[in-house]
Amino acid sequence: MYAIVEIGGHQYKVAENDVLFVDKQNSGDDTLTFDKVLLVKDDNGNVNIGKPVVEGAEITAKLLDTVKADKVLVFKKKRRKGYQKLNGHRQVMSQIQIETITASGATAKKKEAAPKEDSSSKSEEAASVDLSSKTVAELKDMAKEQGLTGYSSMKKAELIEALS
């Protein structure tokens, strides 16, 4: 079983017990979970491709160590001018070990039930949709009928807001 997961903006092909180096992961404990799973292939050969991520898929990993990568040298030089500059940089990396790949049935911690809307807010949204389909001249006529002042200099969005 393997999966393709996005960690820190990079995509990695991982399997269980793989050890890899990723950008530094800030975590309070040694267990990490990644829910941006793009593809999962199980042992039976079934491939599950996400749109953009696989729903319910989750990868847990253990943080082994935090190390620095190899030094990258940046050398600048302008010939015949006596100018040369050398800079170096070492990226901080985390060494992780993949523990489990869960294809589905993982509990979604971040997803909570959406707050229920009352019927009055739905009717207001329906009214605003109806107003957005009208022309500016029609909206100005409606504003004139309702007795609004200053409607002649309003833009369409302002008219819709004033009428709703």
- Answer yes or no: are the C-beta atoms of 69 and 93 closer than 8 Å: yes
Task: Give the position of tokens 């229920």.
Answer: 116
Let me know if residue 140 belongs to a domain: yes
Both 48 and 91 in one domain: the answer is: yes
Lowest-confidence segment of 2-6, 72-76, 146-150 by average pLDDT: 146-150
Q: How many domains does the chain have?
A: 2
pLDDT at position 108, please?
Answer: 43
The amino acid that residue 12 corresponds to is: Y
Q: Considering the entire predicted model, what is its pTM?
A: 0.58
Both 98 and 141 in one domain: the answer is: no
Both 25 and 82 in one domain: the answer is: yes
pLDDT higher than threshold 60 for residue 121: no
* Tens-place pLDDT, residues 42-92: 999 999 999 999 999 999 999 999 999 999 999 999 999 999 999 999 999
For the sheet containing 37-41, what is the strand order?
A: 10-15, 2-7, 37-41, 47-49
In whole angstroms, give the CA distance from residue 34 to residue 99. Answer: 11
Let me know if residue 153 belongs to a domain: yes
Both 155 and 84 in one domain: the answer is: no
Q: Smallest Cα–Cα separation from 38: which of 62, 63, 14?
A: 14
> Pick the residue with more confidence: 26 or 118?
26
Beta-carbon contacts of 10 under 8 Å, excluding residues fewer than 6 positions away, are 22, 23
Both 59 and 14 in one domain: the answer is: yes
Both 82 and 158 in one domain: the answer is: no
- Answer yes or no: are the C-beta atoms of 99 and 16 closer than 8 Å: yes
Token pair for 116: 């229920």
**Looking at 102, 120, 141, which one is the last position of a domain?**
102
Let me know if residue 65 belongs to a domain: yes
3-state helix, strand, coil in the chain (%, to 5): 20, 40, 40
Let me know if residue 114 belongs to a domain: no
Both 9 and 74 in one domain: the answer is: yes
Let me know if residue 64 belongs to a domain: yes
* Tens-place pLDDT, residues 34-55: 999 999 999 999 999 999 999 9
Lowest-confidence segment of 3-7, 30-34, 64-68, 104-108 by average pLDDT: 104-108
Residue 97 structural domain: 2-102
3-class SS of residue 27: coil
Both 17 and 63 in one domain: the answer is: yes
Let me know if residue 109 belongs to a domain: no
- Answer yes or no: are the C-beta atoms of 46 and 15 closer than 8 Å: no
Let me know if residue 117 belongs to a domain: no
Both 98 and 26 in one domain: the answer is: yes
Both 138 and 96 in one domain: the answer is: no
Token pair for 147: 């007795």
Residue 19 CA to its chain's centroid (Å) = 25
Both 137 and 65 in one domain: the answer is: no
